[in-house]
A and B are shown apart, each in its own frame.
Chain A
Amino acid sequence: MTEPTQTWNTQRSADSQLKRNWAKLRRNKAALFGSMLILAYFITALMAPIIFPGNPSAPNLMKALERPSAAHPLGKDELGRSILGRVIYGSRVSLLIAIGVVAVGLLVGVPLGLISGYYGGKVDFGIQRVTDTLLAFPGFLLALALVSVLGVGLKNTIISVGISMVPIYIRLVRGCALSVREQTYVEAAKAVGTRNRTILFRHILPNVMIPITIQTSLGMGTAILFAAGLGFLGIGVQPPTPEWGAMLGSGRAYLFHAPHVATFPGIAIFLAVLGFNLAGDGLRDVLDPRFRL
């Protein structure tokens, strides 16, 4: 007789947990705003050809540096290309970079962090000294140095910025793994003969997912900023690919008589980074109020 009641209770508790989290997120206005920015950003990136049917890289020198007008809401750049189109298509590039960078950071950083924290000893020492060395450089400087070794371009931008983020993930995951490995359930898993690899990825990893999720959201914002910085310096993604940082860089020359060229890509970078940071902070508050980076 208890079965239906139990099912209902369980269902309700899972639902109410979601509802509670949603309510918390909704009360957090900043996080909600951030999430909406991200949503808008994703929609823009995915639907760029529909929003802007033309070719964003087609030059029209007759209209170079034209001011914003009804026909071209954000104006034209130094080669007469629509800034609106380039900002819209630029969102695709920066989204690709953000995802790629975070993927590099996660794929390299998370396993190394887990191994370092779980096994400890010499392995931990080795990984941590390398991490220390990488963390000794400011992140952007490290990415800059890596690009100068690897060369410019989209792929190398992703790899360089990605590697500069790896130590952050290693530290974060190691710290969490250190506390999780002392839990009785890890010992219990060992006591039934579970392999270390299984313990690592099946028992420990899911328990550190919350901080990883939060760091991923924050990391995407940083990735966009770093990639734009490299683009601005001219060693990131190369023209004619529309990239926000590179647009900002080339617009700098016309800052006084055509400020719109640099302003709009700058606003785009600002909004995207703001969105990821607000959402990341909000996620942290909702998922784990005790956790602070």
Chain B
Amino acid sequence: MKQETLLSIKNLHTRFHIYEGVVTAVDGINLDVYRGETLGVVGESGCGKSVTALSILRLLASPPAEIQGEILFDGENLLDMNLGEIRQIRGNSISMIFQEPMTSLNPVLTIGEQISEAIKLHRGLTQQEAWAKAVEMLQMVQIPSPEMRAQEYPHQLSGGMRQRAMIAMALSCRPRLLLADEPTTALDVTIQAQIVDLMGRLKKEFETSIMLITHNLGLIAEMAKRVVVMYAGKVVEEALVEDLFAEPLHPYTQGLLGSIPWMGRKMKAGRKQLQEIPGMVPSLLEMPEGCRFHPRCPRMMDICRKEEPPLVQKDGRRVLCWLWK
């Protein structure tokens, strides 16, 4: 089954030049997002998920950031574009939802003003037309009495409603790719479910591809088709969601899945029901030699300490580990 590639990241490096040295937040990752699919990107805090998303939209200030590699969107390299061209992409072809609905809306502008701003910018509509479109978008994300809500300020809306408004803003120009950076993390569980449901519905309606960045594997299982696991700036495993959950190949992925409580999971003899991954993500300034995961890996071998692991292709999956060589 050959799918059309919408976004293709090739050998992306994002480095930050700071006082203490050079921090490589994203270290040569490769990934593709196909048309109309939801790609999940998982990993712990600080593994480079958000930086990848910000690199795509070139939202990192440079200096200190330095981005290398290729980010092909519809065949065009976003990293070669000038500021005017990338601005045409932002919000129009690729848009983004942020983690904190509390702080990602401007407190001094009404909801309608903020949504219609993007519409005016990319669609060249008049104020009235853009406002009408903004109200329509609020309706679409199921905000009750949208005409009135459009005239309100963010503090008058609940957290869930604000995230809906953010989604309305992000989807207002019918982007082809939506970068959702922890879209439900700051919301309580029932609201999370509503937002997930809403995103799934809108994805179908708008035929938008979604790159879902999260550390919540449950969310990935529910929404994504394929999943990419990142660790310390590298992609360590890529697989279809079912395959990943059925048989995680990388010890890090195994650890991640082992650390989620499952209802009705049988306890194996001699094993704790919940496992943890010992240690912490290494500091980006002091990366371990060889495999970056080796100090925390339960199945560490000698070679892991010395040489960087190869990318192994296995049944259409990719895994960055010596175990499968």
Instruction: Report A's interface with B, CB cutoff 8 A.
Output: 2-3, 6-7, 10, 13, 183-195, 198, 202-203, 206-207, 209
Contact = CB atoms under 8 A, between A and B. Distances in A.
A207 B106 CA distance: 9
Contact of A192 (B109, B117, B145): B117
A192 B148 contact: no
B141 to A, nearest CB: 16
Interface stretch (B9-17, B96-104, B301-309): B96-104
B59 A195 contact: no
Interface stretch (B37-45, B84-92, B193-201): B84-92
Contacts of B96: 188, 191
Contacts of A195: 87
B121 A188 contact: no
Contacts of A184: 98, 100, 103-104
Given A191-B59, A192-B121, A202-B117, 10 more contacts: A3-B148, A10-B156, A185-B104, A186-B106, A188-B98, A189-B106, A191-B95, A193-B89, A193-B121, A198-B117
A185 B103 contact: yes
Interface residues of B, number: 33
Q: Summarize A's interface: helix, strand, loop or mixed.
A: helix
Given A6-B145, A193-B92, A193-B118, A188 B104 contact: yes
A10 B59 CA distance: 35
Interface in B115-173: 117-118, 121-122, 144-145, 148, 152, 156, 166, 169-170, 173
Contacts of A6: 145, 148
In order of increasing CB-CB distance, the 4 nearest A-B pairs are A192-B91, A193-B90, A192-B118, A193-B91
B52 to A, nearest CB: 14
Interface in B47-93: 57, 59, 87-92
A203 B109 contact: yes
A142 to B, nearest CB: 34
Interface string B265-297: 000000000000000000000000000000000
Contacts of A206: 106, 108-109
Nearest to A188: B104
A2 B148 CA distance: 12
Contact of B87 (A187, A193, A209): A193
Contact of A191 (B88, B91, B106, B108): B91
Contact of B156 (A13, A185, A192, A203): A13
Given A192-B117, A206-B109, A187 B59 contact: yes
B105 interface: yes
B107 interface: yes
B89 A2 contact: no
Contacts of B118: 192-194
B90 A202 contact: no
26 contacts: A2-B144, A3-B144, A10-B152, A13-B156, A184-B98, A184-B104, A185-B103, A185-B107, A188-B169, A190-B59, A191-B57, A191-B59, A191-B90, A191-B98, A192-B117, A192-B169, A192-B173, A193-B87, A193-B92, A193-B122, A194-B91, A194-B117, A194-B118, A194-B121, A206-B106, A207-B107
A187 B169 CA distance: 13
A7 B88 contact: no
A210 to B, nearest CB: 10
Contacts of B108: 206-207, 209
A175 B176 CA distance: 38
Nearest to B147: A3
A185 B165 CA distance: 13
A103 B154 CA distance: 32
A183 B108 CA distance: 13
A202 B103 CA distance: 16
